Amino acid sequence: MSRDLRDAFGCFATGVTLVTTHWNGQDWGMTCSSFNAVSLDPALVLWNIRHNATSHEAFVHGGGYTVSVLGSEHKELAQAFARGTQAERFASAKFSRRKSGRLQLVHALAWFDCTLQQAVTAGDHDILIGQVDQYGSRAGKGLVFERGQFAVDTLAVGAVATSPF
């Protein structure tokens, strides 16, 4: 991909999340800015992972994933989950284990625990579509990524929701 195309893509500000899975007895996690809602009924979400990512096999074969939406206070955490070993990544914050066995960031703005429904190959990435099984949210300001930089979302999330599961 050319630097010009990457710069053009970077003009679109996105939210920042951590995505985790549990596969072969190990927790796997990475920073992700490609998370998006797909459908309300059924509740579906998606995110993208590069084919050559070290955690690709874990996410494609782990049976599902948990997305933790990062708040404005999570810039360093987002950076930590973008590099280092899996053990180093998870040592940098407090997580709780969902019934699914996957980890959720305790102080996430929102979280979605999902069963993997489909992996769609698209270029050098796979699009991972998940059925939302459980979710929750809290008030706060989101962390965004734009033009290669982290910034704070200017809108505060006021509603709080928790799934009935």
The pLDDT value recorded for residue 84 is 85
Q: Confidence class of residue 154 from pLDDT cuts 50, 70 and 90? A: low
Domain that holds residue 148: 3-157
DSSP string, 56-109: HHHHHHSSEEEEEE-BGGGHHHHHHTTSS-HHHHHTTS-EEE-TTS-EEETT-S
Q: Confidence class of residue 164 from pLDDT cuts 50, 70 and 90? A: very low
Kindly report which listed range (64-78, 85-99, 141-155) carries the lowest average pLDDT score.
141-155
Q: Has residue 129 been placed in a domain?
A: yes
Q: Has residue 63 been placed in a domain?
A: yes
Q: Domain containing 134 — which CATH number?
A: 2.30.110.10
Q: Has residue 163 been placed in a domain?
A: no
Q: Has residue 164 been placed in a domain?
A: no
Number of domains in the chain: 1
